[in-house]
Amino acid sequence: MNRPSSSIFSSDFRAALQLGAWIIIGLAAFDILINVVFAYPSDPKNTNPSRLQTYFEYGRSTDGQLARMTRRERSQTAPITLAGWYDPIEVEEKSETPQKPIVTFYGMSHAVQLAHALARVSSAYSPRIVAAPGATANWSYGAYVRDRGGKKSRAVVLGLMSANLPAITTMSPMTWNIGFPMPYTGDRFYAEDDNTLQVVHPPYSSFEQYVDTFSDSEKWSAASAFFSKYDTMYDAFISRANILDHSSLFRLIRRAYGQRLERNARNAVLDQTGFRPDSEQVKVARAIVHQFAQDARANGMIPVIYIVNNFGYSDYLYRALAPTLNVDKIPYVSSHQIVSANDPRSYLPNSHFTDAIDEQLARALVKVVETAK
């Protein structure tokens, strides 16, 4: 006699439940094992975790990563939490020689590399640097507005690069640099039809203000709401911490979501023909370039735009800015004039140019400054 169908169903259902339970137990055990074996260093000053520790850390919420790296004392906090703040503006400069005119650079590490190359190829100028890691053009222009060449520069150089142009409408690399958030903040600019700019300042602009805000849940919630309103890449699922931060498997899911978020932000600005001229990001970039040049000239300085066309981006950024550069007759140095953005031999693994390329760019900068005198 065959067993009743209800008995068969009940038996199969129990077997499925048992299998599901064992799968859940196995995943939980695997999750715990990963967290134990590949635990990320708790010391915020440890800047050399292993590749696997770094891999399984990816996907932790922004708040969770900031909590790991932030300490109130400057001597104890992660070094990266101290970089990039507007208040005070940090300046790198060598001892001044009265006979040497100063050239001040504003921007990301590529602008820093160009400044160092200028010091190597020319004894006629003294480089002065105001920079932040991965700085977007809105941060750089905000830094210029606060510093204005230290009121002693012959020329000022504003750096822009194609890889982070989509983030020009953000307020912090906490939101756009998901794998390695940095807490410093920048101004948010809005372009008007006449190429003027409206500005929204960040809720805090110094390390001390950041620590005070981050350590107070109410203040941090208010700051997060501020970023949500004005920062185009802020995402609560990526940013806010929760209990699932402790799951390595969930972190992988969040990481995949973050990569999709970054990809969508890039695709909203860039297509197969270049940066979209009708995008807010391009409009803001052009307005920043226009206002920077106008203000520098009004203060007796030579404005120079340094355009970094990152590997794989062709000369798209130069083409996006060319209408403003041409109409306003703004001096510029664009990397596509020296090297193809599709030639990997000219780039280092960290996206910088080789020293030889930086030196060629520095010589081009000297010519631009000399011609503009």
Alpha-carbon distance 182 to 167, whole Å?
Answer: 14
* pLDDT given for residue 97 in this prediction: 64
- Residues 182, 133 contacting (CB under 8 angstroms): yes
pLDDT category, 59, cuts 50, 70, 90?
confident
Q: Is residue 22 part of a domain?
A: no
Residue 293 maps to a domain: yes
Q: Average pLDDT for residues 107-136, to the nearest whole number? A: 97
Closest CA to 215 of 348, 115, 67, 351: 67
**pLDDT bracket for residue 69 (50, 70, 90):** very high
Task: Give a yes or no: residue 70 inside a domain.
Answer: no
What phi, psi does 126 have (nearest 5°)?
Answer: -110, 110
pLDDT of residue 27: 59
Is 6 within a domain?
no
Task: Give residue 105's pLDDT.
Answer: 98
Structural domain boundaries, residue 192:
92-237+272-372
Domain presence at residue 306: yes
Instruction: Please indicate, yes or no, if residue 257 is contained in any of the structural domains.
Output: no
The span from the CA of 229 to the CA of 225, in Å, is 6
Contact (CB, 8 A) for 104 and 153: yes
pTM of the model: 0.89
- Give the dihedral sign, CA 78/84/87/92: positive
- Return the pLDDT at 11: 67
Nearest Cα to 186, choosing from 241, 147, 143, 152?
143
pLDDT average, residue stretch 166-175: 97
For residue 195, is it left (φ>0), alpha (ψ between -120 and 50) or beta? left
Quote the CA–CA distance of 98 and 93 in Å, as a whole number: 14
* Separation of alpha carbons 107 and 292, rounded Å: 13
Overall number of domains in the chain: 1
Residue 2 has pLDDT above 60, yes or no: no
Amino acid letter for position 94: K
Residue 82 in any domain: the answer is no
Q: Do strands 332-334 and 302-308 pair parallel, antiparallel, or not at all (unpaired)?
A: parallel
What are phi and psi for residue 13, nearest 5 degrees? -65, -45
- 23 band by pLDDT with thresholds 50, 70 and 90: low
CATH code, domain with 151 = 3.40.50.1110
pLDDT bin (cut points 50, 70, 90) of residue 159 is very high
| Residue 284, in any domain of the structure | yes
Give percent above pLDDT 70 in the chain: 87
Confidence of residue 247 (pLDDT cuts 50, 70, 90): confident
